[in-house]
């Protein structure tokens, strides 16, 4: 794939970008925290100079919460250097992003590693917490290629509070392999009714937008882990 410019990618196109056979720099941003014009210009120039050797792809984290969760992004802007679908380097600080050309040369061309610090591959770009789902965002989240575990819960539900730590732990353990989300049934009744959630907690696993497994009641972490592992 040869692209002379920055791609705009989303839940539906991200896997095509990552599987194009080239190193990828994912640029997560939000309209509420735009990048300085000088940095945007530098990225445009890099996209043209690396055409055919690397892809630069932009993700609006406000419009694509599922992708932000998948890559464990909580703060923007952040630049993720990805190879074979795996994040190897995260440029999260202002200082690291100001040396993006040097980091890209290191990542793509094997040039010496810049001395300015970047986040290593084994430290996630975010806190690994479950994604908060709503009626408005639900369909977009479950339609992605990764399996999605949704915890249907309510604030007044004692068993929901019992299972909550397990759901948090699943979000951390399965980061990059599955999406874990929580939907408050009192605040999002349309989705709860759509999937006939009559008792909580109910946890439903979705694959390609369709429910493939359902767990009703508070279960142990090991039980939830085993069920999700069948799809992730």
Confidence (pLDDT) at 124: 44
Active site residue 35: no
pLDDT value of residue 126: 39
Fold for the domain defined by 7-120 = Glutaredoxin (3.40.30)
Token digits of residue 84: 């074979």
| Sequence ranges of the domains in the chain | 7-120, 131-229
pLDDT of residue 28: 93
- Is 157 a residue of the active site? yes
In CATH, what class is 131-229? alpha beta
pLDDT at 71: 85
Q: Which residue in 61, 160, 175, 224 is the catalytic one?
A: 160
Q: Please count the residues of the chain.
A: 232
In this prediction, residue 151 carries a pLDDT of: 97
- Positions in the chain short of pLDDT 50: 120-127
Q: Which of 26, 157, 203, 232 is catalytic?
A: 157
| Same fold: 7-120 with 131-229 | yes
Counting Cβ atoms within 10 Å, is residue 73 exposed (0-12), middle (13-18) or buried (19+)? buried
Closest CA to 8 of 57, 67, 65: 57
Please write the tens of the pLDDT for every residue from 86-122. Answer: 888 888 777 778 888 999 999 999 998 887 656 544 4
Vertex 169: Cα angle to 166 and 174 (nearest 5): 120
pTM over cut 0.75 = no
* Residue 3 · residue 55 · CB < 8 Å: yes
Given a contact cutoff of 8 angstroms between Cβ atoms, the answer to whether 11 and 57 are in contact is: no
pLDDT at 219: 92
Which pLDDT belongs to residue 117? 55
Q: How confident is the model over 151-176, as pLDDT tens digits?
A: 999 999 999 999 999 999 998 888 77
């Amino acid at each position: 794939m040869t692209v002379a410019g920055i791609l705009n990618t989303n839940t539906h196109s991200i896997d095509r970008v990552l599987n194009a056979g080239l190193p990828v720099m994912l640029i997560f941003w939000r309209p509420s925290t735009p990048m300085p014009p000088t940095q945007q210009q530098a990225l445009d120039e890099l996209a043209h100079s690396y055409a055919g050797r690397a892809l630069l792809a932009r993700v609006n984290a406000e419009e694509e919460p599922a992708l932000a969760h998948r890559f464990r992004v909580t703060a923007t802007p952040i630049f993720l250097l990805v190879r074979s679908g795996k994040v190897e380097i995260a440029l999260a600080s202002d200082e690291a992003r100001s040396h993006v050309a040097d980091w890209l040369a290191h990542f793509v061309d094997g040039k010496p590693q810049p001395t300015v610090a970047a986040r290593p591959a084994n430290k996630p770009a975010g806190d690994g917490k479950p994604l908060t789902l709503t009626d408005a965002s639900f369909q977009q989240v479950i339609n992605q290629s990764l399996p999605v575990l949704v915890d249907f819960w309510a604030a007044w539900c004692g068993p929901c509070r019992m299972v909550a730590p397990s759901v948090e732990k699943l979000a951390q353990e399965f980061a990059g392999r599955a999406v874990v989300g929580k939907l408050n049934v009192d605040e999002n009744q349309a989705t709860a009714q759509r999937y006939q959630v009559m008792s909580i907690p109910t946890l439903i696993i979705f694959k390609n937008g369709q429910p493939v497994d359902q767990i009703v009641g508070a279960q142990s972490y090991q039980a939830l882990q085993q069920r999700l592992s069948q799809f992730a």
